[in-house]
Amino acid sequence: MDEFSLIDTIFSRLTTSGSPALGLGDDAALFSPPDGYDLVVTKDMMVSGRHFFSSDPMDLVARKLLRVNLSDLAAMGAKPLGYLLGLAFPDKLDSGLATELSKGLLEDQKEFGIALYGGDTVSGAGKLVLSLTAIGYVEKGQALRRNGAKPGDLVFVSGTIGDAALGLKCLLGDCPSDVALVRRYHVPVPRLALGANLVGLASAALDISDGMIADLGHICAQSRVGMRIEARRVPLSDAARHMLADTPDLLRTVLTGGDDYELAFTAPPENADAIKAAAKSANVPIMDIGMVEKGDALIVVEEDGTSRAWGAGGFRHP
């Protein structure tokens, strides 16, 4: 099977006919963005052995690739339009692998109301390398940024924190396996509705991909502020709570582990009620876990009241 047949037989069905983009028969994809909006574009890559296991179900790998990109759109308050896929096969074109990937993409396209706009397929990369560019739109000048947090703002996170990192530990055999935690690692949920609802309310936002502490550190660095976070207020799933009861040291994994794809955001206290309503309307639980402060210190107050400073990279200062 050559590249053209692969596109015809497998990927062309991902360009829904109702979509604003052309099919895959032209040099590039064409779409009509809604007038009066800013466009938001993001690109994330995943490499076999680094970002996923070669033994992982490939439909889940494709869904995670799409979802981590959609999560970046959510973090900016944007609604998704479509995406381009880059697929580098380890050896030669592999229609079985492409079929598995496309199955996952099709499932998630339907869930998120988007379509494949175009892309490229190459071979001989040695490892499976996936690249995805997602495109969305947001009210002009209203995108959520990382640089707007002000001292006195509240710090919020959505959902529960640390599940994906604990799920990865399960997969690596470091913990007893837990289906719910592994699921959080394999299939993150981009918080698109919440992100869109936060436009005009949040002062800064991002998605938690590097780990909660490291990502809050990114807001601190871009906004030139510090934060004081209360560890006991960080929302945990039942599965995570259970695991921490057995192994309290895993709190560090929870606070610094990546791949949650929850939103972390700041907002002035007077917006707190509107923020709660926005979260409720998006059907996503949120929790205020701390406060933005002057300075550049990221402080975590532990359960016993001890305050510790963390570096922006998510590593604790010695």
Compute the distance between CA of residue 75 and CA of residue 57 in angstroms, rounded to an integer: 27
Query: Which one among 47, 193, 244, 287 touches a copy of itself, defined by CB under 8 A?
Result: 47
Compute the distance between CA of residue 84 and CA of residue 109 in angstroms, rounded to an integer: 12
**Going by DSSP bridges, is the β-strand pair 115-122/79-88 parallel, antiparallel, or unpaired?**
parallel
Q: Which residue has the tokens 């809050």?
A: 216
The DSSP secondary-structure symbol of 232 reads G
Ramachandran region of residue 206, left (φ > 0), alpha (ψ -120 to 50) or beta? Answer: beta
- Residues between 87 and 116 that touch a copy of itself (CB under 8 A): 87-88
Site membership for a copy of itself, residue 155 (CB under 8 A): no
Q: Which is nearer to a copy of itself, 140 or 280 (CB)?
A: 140
Q: Which of 132, 102, 84 is nearest to 11 (CA)?
A: 102
Contact (CB, 8 A) for 155 and 264: yes
Residue 161: is it exposed, middle or buried by C-beta count within 10 angstroms (0-12/13-18/19+)? buried
Give the interface segment with a copy of itself, choosing from 45-53, 170-178, 185-193, 243-251 (CB under 8 A): 45-53
Query: Which one among 11, 104, 118, 267 touches a copy of itself, defined by CB under 8 A?
Result: 118
Site membership for a copy of itself, residue 50 (CB under 8 A): yes
Give the interface segment with a copy of itself, choosing from 46-54, 55-63, 234-242, 283-291 (CB under 8 A): 46-54
Site membership for a copy of itself, residue 135 (CB under 8 A): yes
Q: Which is nearer to a copy of itself, 134 or 291 (CB)?
A: 134
Site membership for a copy of itself, residue 189 (CB under 8 A): no
Binders of a copy of itself: how many residues, by CB under 8 A?
66
The DSSP secondary-structure symbol of 105 reads H
Give the interface segment with a copy of itself, choosing from 77-85, 107-115, 181-189, 239-247 (CB under 8 A): 77-85
Contact (CB, 8 A) for 128 and 88: yes
Binding residues vs a copy of itself (CB under 8 A): 2, 4, 22, 25-33, 35-36, 38-47, 49-51, 71-73, 75-76, 78, 84-88, 117-127, 129, 131, 133-136, 138, 140, 143, 145-147, 206-207, 218, 222, 313
